[in-house]
Amino acid sequence: MDALNFLSKKEEVEKEINELKSQIEEKKRVLETLVSNQNKHNLTNWEISRYSRQILVPNIGIKGQESFKNGKVLIIGAGGLGCPAAQYLAGCGIGHIGLVDYDEVEENNLHRQLLHQENSIGTSKVRSAAQALRSINSHIKVDEYPVQLNSLNAIQIMQSYSVVIDASDNPSTRYLVNDACIMTKLPLVSGSAVGMEGQLTVYNYKGGPCYRCLFPDPPPPNTVSNCGDAGVLGPVPGVIGTMQALQAIHILLESEGVLSSKLLLFDGADTKFRTVKLRGKSAGCVVCGENPTITRLIDYEQFCGAPANDKHAAVNLLKPEERITVSELRTALKEKGKPVVIDVRSKTEFDICRLPGSVNIPLADIEKQSAQNTLKSVISKSPNPNEPVYVICRRGNDSQKAVKKLRELMLLNQDFFDVRGGLHAWARDIDHTFPIY
Amino acid sequence: MMTSECMPVTLEFGGGAELLFNNLKEHELQLPNSRIWTVRELLIWMKDNLIAERPDLFFHGDSVRPGILVLVNETDWELMGELEYEIQRKDKIMFISTLHGG
C-alpha cells in the first residue's frame, strides 16, 4: 500500500469510528429518555444516585430535584455570604449558577470566604469561587461575571436567572439589586452579616414588599458599618449565606417557608434566632408601588451618597497644615521627648497593636466627659504640656474627625495634629514589623 | 413608685443600635402610668433619658433615622400605627439597625 492510499484508508476508518461514536451517544440519549419516560421524570440514573440523599427528603423528591436541575440562581457577591450560598447550591445540583463580583481575593477574606484558597489571593473572587464550585460539581453550569454590578449591566446579567441572591456588602448595591429585581420581576433573597449578627429576608416575592418598601430612604453613610471596620466572625455570614441558599431552594420549589414579609434576625452572640413580621408591599413605593416613579435604574452611589463597595476612600476634613506625615511623627517622637499621642481606634483595635506610649481614647467616646478628663490629665502630666498633641488611627480618617471634635470641645489652648495615613502608613513607611489589619 | 403606677416595657436593640445605648441589648423600663404613652413619646423619653451617645446616629426629626426598623412585639411598627401606637403593659419594642455587610 503506498503512502497516499494508506492515508485515505486511515481517514475513512477514523470517520467511520466517529460516526459510530456519535451513534452510540445518540442511542445512549434514546435509552436515557426511554428509562426516564418509564420513570416519568427526566433525571438520569447518575443524577438519582448523586442526589439520592436529598431526593429521599419528601419535601424535595424527584420533582424537587428536577426543579434544581432547571434552576437558575444569580449570586451578587462572592464573599462571606456568597461563598456558602454558592457552595450549597452547587452541591444540591442547581443547574445554572451565576457569580458577580468585581473584587479580588485578599488574605483577610480567607477566614470566612471558604471557597477561596490561599493560592487564590490576588486573583478574581469570581474565578476562584467558580473553580471551587466546578470541583464540587462538574455537572452544573457556572457563569462568571468578574465585574462591578451597575445600572448599565444589572438587568442584562439578571435576566438569564430565575432567583437573585444579594450577598453584597453595601447599601448602594443593595438598592441597585432591589430595583433591578423589580424591573426583571425576580425574587430577591437578601442576606447581610456584620460582627456577630445576621439578617435575612426575601423581597419581591408573590406580592410581598421590596427593599424600598421597608427602607424608602438610604441610611446616612456614617451609620453604615462594614466587616472591615466592625469585624465579622466567619460562621455568622456562614449561617446567613447557607440560609440564603435554603431560601433560593424554597423559591425554586415554590414551597412554604419563604421569608417574604418576614425578617429573620440571627444573633450569634447569644445564639438567638427570631423571625419578625414585616409590612406588606407599599402602595406608594417608588419602584414597586402603584405609580412607580423609578422605572429605569438610577445612579445608586449618588442616591446613597456612598460608593458601591465597602472599601475606604480617604477623607479630607482638615487643612494640609493641620496634618503631619508619619515621618514627621517619628521625628517628633525622637526629638521632642514624649509628646502626647492619642490613638482614637476602638479598644479592640488598640489591643491588636499600638505605638509605644500612645493613649487610647476611642472616637466614639471622645465627647464624653471621662474621655476629656483623661486627655487633660495626660496632657498636664506630659513633659512638654505645650507641645501639640498627635492624633492617630488606623488609616487617617477617624483621626481627622477626632481632631475636629477635639478643637471644638477643648477650651484649653491646645494644638492637635492628625497623622496622615495612620498606623497603616506607619507600618508601610516607618516600621515594617508593625502589623497591618 | 408603686408597680401599679408604672407600666413595664422592654426595649431591645440590635444590629449595632445597642452601641448607642450603653452597649445593652435589653432595657427593662417602668414608664409612669399617669399618661398614655405612644411610640412618639417613648422616642422623646429615650432621647432625654436613655441614649448614651451620638443621638444623631439614632434619631431623625421626631422619628428614628432611615435604616432603623422598629418592631412592636415582633411586628413591624408600620402595621401597628408607627409613632401613634399606644404602648401597652409588657410590650416589647425593638430597634434594629439594618446590616449591609456580607
Rounded Cα distance, A177 and A98, in Å? 14
Q: What is the pLDDT of residue A412?
A: 62
Burial class (CB in 10 A: 0-12, 13-18, 19+), B60: middle
- In three-state secondary structure terms, A132 is helix
Rounded Cα distance, A342 and A354, in Å? 10
Contact A197 B15 (CB under 8 A): yes
Cell of A316: 479630607
Residues of chain A with pLDDT under 70: 411-412
Bridge partner list, A97: A73, A142
Chain A: residue whose CA lies nearest to B65: A219
**Which tens digits make up the pLDDT trace of B22-65?**
999 999 999 998 899 999 999 999 999 999 988 999 999 999 99
Can you say which residues of A are annotated as belonging to the binding site for Zn(2+)?
210, 213, 285, 288
- Which residue of B57, B79, B102 is in closest CB contact with A192? B102
Q: How many separate helices (H) and strands (E) can be counted in chain A?
A: 17, 13
Active site residue A393: yes
Q: Which residues of A touch B78 (CB under 8 A)?
A: 279
The ipTM of this complex is 0.94
Tell me: pLDDT of B1 over 60. Answer: no
- Which residue of A194, A241, A364 is in closest CB contact with B101? A194
pLDDT interval class at B4 (50, 70, 90): low
**Which tens digits make up the pLDDT trace of A310-319?**
887 778 889 9
Contact A219 B98 (CB under 8 A): yes
Q: What is the pLDDT of residue B3?
A: 54
Global pTM value:
0.88
**Which tens digits make up the pLDDT trace of A335-380?**
877 899 999 999 999 999 999 999 999 998 998 889 989 998 999 8
Contact B102 A80 (CB under 8 A): yes
Q: How far is CA A176 from CA A99, A152, A203, A314, A319, in A?
A: 16, 11, 13, 24, 35
- Which residue of A82, A279, A364 is in closest CB contact with B76? A279
Contact B102 A230 (CB under 8 A): no
The mean predicted confidence, pLDDT, of chain A is: 94
